[in-house]
Amino acid sequence: MAVICAEGLYKFFGPKLAVANLTLEIAPGEIFGFLGPNGAGKSTSVKMLLGLARPSGGRATVLGRPLGDVACRARIGFLPEHFRFYEWLTAAELLRFHGRLAGLDRRTARQRAEHWLGRVGLAAQAGQRLGQFSKGMRQRLGLAQALLHDPELVFLDEPTSGLDPGGRWLVREILREQRARGAAVFLNSHLLGEVESTCDRVAFLRAGEIRAVRPLVHGALASAQGSVPVEVRAGGLRPELIAGLSPWAEVLLWEGDHLRLEVRREADLPAVAQYLVAGGAAIFAFTPRRATLEEAFAAIVGREAGL
Amino acid sequence: MKLLLIAAITLREAARRKVLLAAALLSVGYLALFALGVATQFRGPHAPAALIRQEITASLLQLALYGVSFLAALLAIVSSLETIAGEIGSGAIQALATKPLPRWQLLLGKWLGFAALLAGYVAVMTAGVTIVLWLGRGYAAPHVAAAAALIWSEALVLLTLTLWFATFSSPLASGVAALGLYGLAFIGGWVEQIGALTGHPGAVRVGIVASLICPSEELWRRASYLLRSPLPGASRFTPFGVASAPSGAMVVYAAVYLAAILALALRHFSCRDL
pLDDT of residue B29: 93
pLDDT of residue B233 exceeding 60, the answer is no
pLDDT along chain A (307 residues), means of 10: 92 91 92 88 92 93 92 94 91 96 95 96 94 93 95 93 88 92 91 83 89 78 70 90 89 89 87 91 87 76 62
pLDDT of residue B227: 85
Assign residue A82 a region (left: φ > 0; alpha: ψ between -120 and 50; beta: otherwise).
left
A232 within 8 A of A262, measured Cβ to Cβ:
no
Please give the residue of chain B at the shortest CA–CA distance from A149. B99
Q: Hey, which residues does A9 pair with through a beta bridge?
A: A22
How far is the C-alpha of B244 from the C-alpha of B192, rounded, in Å? 7
Chain B contact for A78 (CB, 8 A cutoff): yes
pLDDT of residue B243: 62
pLDDT tens digits, one per residue of A142-174 = 999 999 999 999 999 999 888 888 998 999 999
What is the nearest CA distance from A189 to chain B, expressed in angstroms? Answer: 18
Give A253's contacts (C-beta < 8 A, 6+ positions apart): A259, A260
- B236: confidence class by pLDDT, cuts 50, 70, 90: low
Chain B contact for A138 (CB, 8 A cutoff): no
Interchain CB distance below 8 Å, A84 and B17: no
- In three-state secondary structure terms, A212 is strand
In this complex, the residue of A54, A73, A142 whose CB is nearest that of residue B273 is A54
- Domains of chain A and any CATH numbers: 4-221 (3.40.50.300), 228-288 (3.30.70)
pLDDT of residue B255: 94
Counting the structural domains of chain B, the total is 1
pLDDT of residue B240: 58
Rounded mean pLDDT, B108-113: 96
pLDDT of residue A267: 85
Q: Which domain holds residue B54?
A: 2-271
Please give the residue of chain A at the shortest CA–CA distance from B91. A84
How far is the C-alpha of A289 from the C-alpha of A252, rounded, in Å? 14
How far is the C-alpha of A191 from the C-alpha of A208, rounded, in Å? 18
Query: What are the b/e assignments for A281-294, b being 16+ CB within 10 Å?
Result: beeeebeeebbebe
Please give the C-alpha separations between residue A115 and each of A92, A143, A207, B253, in angstroms, as whole numbers. 10, 13, 40, 53
Chain A contact for B101 (CB, 8 A cutoff): yes
pLDDT of residue B50 exceeding 80, the answer is no
> Exposure of A40 by Cβ count < 10 A (0-12 exposed, 13-18 middle, 19+ buried)?
buried
pLDDT of residue A79: 95
pLDDT of residue B49 exceeding 80, the answer is no
Mean pLDDT is lowest, of A13-22, B8-17, B32-41, B211-220, for B32-41
Rounded mean pLDDT, B64-72: 92
Taken in order A140, A146, A152, A158, the sign of the CA dihedral is negative
pLDDT tens digits, one per residue of B76-108 = 999 898 888 889 888 899 999 999 999 999 999
Rounded mean pLDDT, B209-232: 85
pLDDT of residue A307: 46
- The interaxial angle of helices B103-137 and B19-40, nearest 10 deg, is 20
pLDDT of residue A229: 84
pLDDT tens digits, one per residue of B129-174 = 999 989 888 888 888 999 999 999 999 999 999 999 999 999 999 9
Task: Label the pairing between strands A76-79 and A4-13.
Answer: unpaired
> Exposure of B10 by Cβ count < 10 A (0-12 exposed, 13-18 middle, 19+ buried)?
buried
pLDDT of residue B28 exceeding 60, the answer is yes
For an interface test with B, the pick among A11, A52, A98 (most B C-beta atoms closer than 10 Å) comes out as A52
What is the nearest CA distance from B25 to chain A, expressed in angstroms? Answer: 21
Q: What are phi and psi of B58, to 5 degrees?
A: -65, -40
Give A2's contacts (C-beta < 8 A, 6+ positions apart): A25, A26, A27, A61
Query: Which DSSP state fits A72?
Result: G
pLDDT of residue B44: 64
Interchain CB distance below 8 Å, B98 and A86: no
Interchain CB distance below 8 Å, B98 and A51: yes
How far is the C-alpha of A80 from the C-alpha of B92, rounded, in Å? 9
pLDDT of residue B242: 61
